[in-house]
Copies of this chain bind each other. A is one copy, B any other.
């Protein structure tokens, strides 16, 4: 089966990541790969937050990490949430002995936020993929930050709302019985969330098979097979870096049809 570079390159990326994680130095080098991306604090240097305040927060609550370093470990008791300021961090989780990658965080992302709930244990392990910096905030400090800085409060609320929406979408997708319905439903939801970028009725977004696989709760090979079937049926196009839906209504009709088929057969089905 032929797949695009996008859908082939992922395994390679995973291998590289794994190498970084396992082989990476555990030294406490403060060298960080400072990106140009704005973070929760950079964007704050307006009238309501002087530059020095962001710097002060970094100086006081900043925790630097090196590639491969474990920031926190699944099952530990957590007291601090983290706001990523620089670098990349991966969240992983052991499910019955198998290590699953949950997501890669970028500057601006909140993680370890369950520590804000009393008595919660870490539900995943956070490992630095690159050198970086995170603000480490306990309940009182976060409360303080929310009080002094409503812009941060507003961004946190929006980020949590977005993640909640994504999680609820995923639950809905996982409740569908057949693999095609799951993948098509995930694509429709992604399209929905990218409605801003609609142009001539065509919608495109960037997603890897790994990410799609995580979203639908199926293995990568199954996802690749369904994606290929959808390409063959011209419901989607896959270019170097993006997945394109030329006609969203055609995909919606396909989804409805899969549902009817599902009801008639009364059981999970695996062929288009």
Contact = CB atoms under 8 A, between A and B. Distances in A.
A176 B96 CA distance: 9
A170 B172 contact: no
Copies in the complex: 2
Interface in A197-237: 217
Interface string A236-272: 0000000000000000000000010011000000000
A158 B117 contact: yes
A3 interface: no
A71 B217 CA distance: 33
Contacts of A143: 150, 154
Interface residues of chain A: helix, strand, loop or mixed (majority):
helix
A20 interface: no
B262 A96 contact: yes
A114 B196 contact: no
Contacts of A172: 93, 95, 123
A172 B113 CA distance: 17
B119 A165 contact: no
A62 to B, nearest CB: 21
Nearest to A256: B96
Interface in A146-160: 146-147, 150, 153-154, 156-158, 160
B175 A217 contact: yes
Contacts of A195: 119
Nearest to A194: B119
A175 B95 contact: yes
A161 interface: yes
A11 interface: no
B116 A158 contact: yes
A160 B192 CA distance: 22
Interface string A122-155: 0100000000000000000011001100100110
B157 A116 contact: yes
7 contacts: A96-B263, A97-B259, A116-B157, A119-B196, A123-B169, A157-B160, A167-B168
